[in-house]
Structure 1
Amino acid sequence: MVRILSADAVRELLSLSELFPVVEEAFVKQGRGEVERPPRPHFPVGIDVDVTRNGIGGTVPQPADAEQQAPLGTALTMPAYIHGREVYATKLAAVHEHNAEQGLPTVNAQVVLTDATTGLPLAFLDGTTITSARTGCIGGLAVEYLAYDPIRLGVLGAGTQARWQTRAIAAGSDVESVHIYSPSDSREACAADLREAGLPAEAVDSPEEAVSDATVVVTTTTSTEPVFDGEWLEPGTLVVAVGAYTAEMQELDPTTFDRAARVFADVPEEVADIGDIRAAGLAESDLVPLSEVFEGVVGREADDEILVVESVGSAVLDAATAEYLYEKARARGIGEDVGL
């Protein structure tokens, strides 16, 4: 039997405060090399699909002389195993940035949990919520370890991850204010949602207004060019960038890196290939593994240091989160068991 954990079930089980130590331990295991984390292939999908038939017509701009229709999205496969655990996980993810125009989530994912001792399938979980939560915890942990009070949060982007980052940061630290900016009207809805959750959030009219007075800046976009000017950062600011994950994507400008005392990365070898790092002329050797922060090896050394945390996401965190949810679901009798 395979246990199905829907998005509603995952949200019912999920506690950010419980998930923090789960994600932190997974980072430490990853840093020590006590995991199996094969390369994660990502590839374009939806090329030459009849978008009119599928009701998505006009969402992807096409060059006038294009012989082949541009892809509708990007698919990723992310497997991982943590040594000593009785389960391993494989996440099947997809990023369709034009989904927002259809009122659909940009990121969709499913996680398959498998028995590491027999290879039998154990569970099929909503991976979209898992991805959002564990990524939120990266920001929450980074702020807990690397920021200083008061936490005045500036968020660039107003989608699902902007909400999760803000909620996770607030779960681990006292947040004095939240300024949300997005070039679309979504910033107003995002701020309203966060206020309903009890957070002091407001929408602002420019990226400079979001960044200039912040002690923590979070970027959660799919941008291909910098979303703010690094000169706007106040001394001591922590920048957490979670949006870019390919060479074509870029959220931070070279000035931000020039001003940074250190740049941390969740997966240095993969972060080295994203647009942020390439545009700044940095290499993998310039990146400090984020796991070293959680092990107390390195951290903030002065209040006026600007620090950057870059995250592309790790399947190890998905595996740890899925295992936590599966064990909790079994203990509480949540989910539906089905035969394959």
Structure 2
Amino acid sequence: MVRILSADAVGELLSLAELFPVVEEAFVKQGRGEVERPPRPHFPVGIDTDRVRDGTNGNGVASAGTETRSGSEPTEQDGPLGTGLTMPAYIHGREVYATKLAAVHPENCAHGLPTVNAQVVLTDATTGLPLALLDGTTITSARTGCIGGLAAESLGTDPVRLGVLGAGAQARWQSRAIAVGSAVESVRVYSPSDSREACAADLREDGIPAEAVDSPEAAVSGANVVVTATTSETPVFDGSWLDPGTLVVAVGAYTPEARELDAETFERAARVFADVPGEVADIGDVRGAGIDESDLLPLSAVFEGDAGRESDDEILVVESVGSAVLDAATAEYLYEKSNARGVGEEVGL
């Protein structure tokens, strides 16, 4: 039998406060080389497809691959509709391993659909039998949020004055996780779309003092933690706006084409931490700044006590592309908790 944990079930089980030490331990294991984490292929999907001719995804929802103009028929966009990723991982000594199947479709947000969608399969490491299928979208959001939360807790300063560039799901999760690990004085959210108002409103409902602002500079200036959570291919703020002592957490870029940070941000940074240095070295942020893998410190070193903030005035950068090791640890935590509480649906394959 396979346990199915839907988004609702994952939401019922998930606690960011409980997840912090789970993610931190996974980072330590990864830093020590006590994991198996094969290279993750990512590839374009939705090429030359005709499924968007009627402007919907087959369920009456506007497709992410169409542009609708007033008084005209939907038109198909050139190029792929999104990116598919396969992310397997195993942590030594654990009884399970995980494979995440993820998809990133940047145009989804324009149609009321999540940009990132994923499923995680848990497999018995002893027998190879399938154990569980979990909603990977929430897992991805939560474990990535914990990266920002742990970074702010370890490298930031209290109280946090948070500036957020981006207003999607990850902007919300980063803000929530930072509020779990640190005292948050204020949050200013900027996005070029009206979604910034909705994002700020959602955060206020969570008890986080958030407001929408009208420019990137208004979000960044005066902040001591800046989060970028976008799909941008050009820098989303000017590094000269950063106050001394600011921590920058960049979680949106994961390909050579994607870029959120400019070269000046890196020039002003005392150190740059990366969740997966070898992969972060290939993203647009780092390549655009002319630095390479040798300039990046593994984020795991912070949790081992081997690196961190050395002065209050240092600007620090944390770059994250995401690691399947964190997905495996999070999925295992949820699976064990679901077994203890009897949450989820058992089905036969």
**Over aligned residue pairs, what C-alpha RMSD do you find?**
1.2
* Deviation for aligned residue 1:58: 2.6
Q: Give the structure 2 partner of residue 150 of structure 1.
A: 159
1:83-135, Cα deviation, whole Å (9 max, x unpaired): 00000000000000111121100000000000000000000000000000000
1:280 corresponds to 2:293: no
Equivalent position SS for 1:111: strand
8 Å Cα contact 1:219/1:251 also seen in 2? yes
* In 2: Cα distance, 1:227 partner to 1:101 partner: 19
8 Å Cα contact 2:44/2:81 also seen in 1? yes
- The 5 Å alignment of 1:141-180 reads 141-180=150-189
Equivalent position SS for 1:140: helix
* Deviation for aligned residue 1:59: 3.6
8 Å Cα contact 1:59/1:101 also seen in 2? no
Scaled by the length of structure 2, the TM-score of the pair is: 0.94
* In 2: Cα distance, 1:137 partner to 1:34 partner: 21
Q: Give the alignment partner of residue 331 of structure 1, picking from 297, 316, 340.
A: 340
1:39 corresponds to 2:43: no
* In 2: Cα distance, 1:234 partner to 1:173 partner: 19
- Deviates most, 96-105 or 30-39: 96-105
Q: Give the structure 1 partner of residue 59 of structure 2.
A: none
8 Å Cα contact 1:59/1:98 also seen in 2? no
Q: Give the structure 1 partner of residue 21 of structure 2.
A: 21
- The 5 Å alignment of 1:216-231 reads 216-231=225-240
Equivalent position SS for 1:149: coil
1:9-54, Cα deviation, whole Å (9 max, x unpaired): 0000000000000000000000000000000000000001112146
Q: State the AA in 1 paired with 2:49.
A: V
Equivalent position SS for 1:77: strand
* In 2: Cα distance, 1:160 partner to 1:53 partner: 28
1:4 corresponds to 2:8: no
Q: State the AA in 2 paired with 1:221.
A: T
Q: Give the structure 1 partner of residue 72 of structure 2.
A: none
* In 2: Cα distance, 1:53 partner to 1:182 partner: 30
- The 5 Å alignment of 1:124-135 reads 124-135=133-144
1:281-330, Cα deviation, whole Å (9 max, x unpaired): 00000000000000000100000000000000000000000000000000
* In 2: Cα distance, 1:293 partner to 1:263 partner: 11
Equivalent position SS for 2:260: coil
1:62-97, Cα deviation, whole Å (9 max, x unpaired): xxxxxx941000000000000000000000000001
8 Å Cα contact 2:55/2:66 also seen in 1? no
1:126-174, Cα deviation, whole Å (9 max, x unpaired): 0000000000000000000000122100000000000000000001110
- The 5 Å alignment of 1:32-111 reads 32-50=32-50, 51-53=52-54, 55=56, 56=63, 58-59=66-67, 69-111=78-120
Q: State the AA in 2 paired with 1:13.
A: L
Equivalent position SS for 2:336: helix
1:192 corresponds to 2:201: yes
8 Å Cα contact 1:60/1:72 also seen in 2? no
Q: State the AA in 1 paired with 2:301.
A: E
8 Å Cα contact 1:60/1:98 also seen in 2? no
Scaled by the length of structure 1, the TM-score of the pair is: 0.97
* In 1: Cα distance, 2:133 partner to 2:307 partner: 37
* Deviation for aligned residue 1:60: 10
* In 1: Cα distance, 2:67 partner to 2:86 partner: 25
How many residues matched? 334
What runs of 5+ residues in structure 1 fail to find an aligned partner? 62-67
Runs of 4+ in 1 over 3 A off after TM superposition: none
